[in-house]
Amino acid sequence: MSKSAVLLITCPDQKGLVSTIANFLFEHGGNILHADQHQDAELGLFLMRVEWDLEGFALDLSEIPSRFGPIARRLGMEWRLASSSQRPRIALFVSRQTHCLVDLLHRYRAGELACEIPLVVSNHSEGRWISAGCDIPYHRIELPPGGKEEAESRQLALLEEHRIDLVVLARYMQILSPTMVARFPNRIINIHHSFLPAFSGARPYHQAYERGVKLIGATSHYVTEILDDGPIIEQDVARISHRDEVSDLVRKGQDLEKVVLSRAVRWHVENRILVYGRKTVVFS
């Protein structure tokens, strides 16, 4: 497949934005492969994702800031450029439950995720055999009482050493410190085992069972300093009944968790997500 590039753009809504962007690419020999846009009427915002073929494109990507920058400044754009040849480097964090880890590594090995996964980090040993089967180093860093700050310092050193672009919490059942979150703004994806904002925090399946809900869900979101409150990327639900026990909710919920998390990771890797405020736009 030919290489492509992506522009993600956010700016005040105004006339002529689509034609301006399209003309810029056309004038330099760009063939648009995909283009999608969204207007937030309440905030007066325009959001766009445009992907184009780099074959025959007259500019090197390093030249785009100097060529497109003046246009962006004139129109008040915040923008980001990505290339399909740049495979983000992902660190997977996991605790005892390994179903999301297994699913992500399977998809990675099957070529579904255009990324690199150079390491797995855990505070337990349950996932070591899975990581070893994929020839991916597994780093167990325990979190003893009073030792969380030191453990997180070791984690951050690993992330820096391996030049990590994205952290995925694949059922990593620990609250990250503000320092960790600040190092990876909108670059930490978590899977929460409920349909947020319902049943945030610990033991959501038990909370759902006690309330007698008829639907359970899973939510993938970017991590912020506020627990389970970051911009939501993807959600899905499954119907349950009065016959289901907590164990049934957990089993059905784990199937949802795997799918919802893998979608979020794939969309991030493919540069399909724009964050604005507490929301996301996910371009198809």
CB 238 within 8 Å of CB 252 = yes
> What DSSP string runs through the chain?
---EEEEEEEEE--TTHHHHHHHHHHHTT-EEEEEEEEEETTTTEEEEEEEEE-TT-SS-GGGHHHHHHHHHHHHT-EEEEEETT---EEEEEE-S--HHHHHHHHHHHTT-S-SEEEEEEESSSTTHHHHHHTT--EEE----TT-HHHHHHHHHHHHHHTT-SEEEESS--SPPPHHHHHHSTT-EEEEESS-TTTT-SS-HHHHHHHHT-SEEEEEEEE--SSTT-SPEEEEEEEE--TT--HHHHHHHHHHHHHHHHHHHHHHHHTT-EEEETTEEEE--
Distance, CA of 75 to CA of 235 (rounded, Å): 34
Distance, CA of 98 to CA of 89 (rounded, Å): 20
The amino acid at 81: L
CB 18 within 8 Å of CB 37 = yes
Residues belonging to the active site? 228
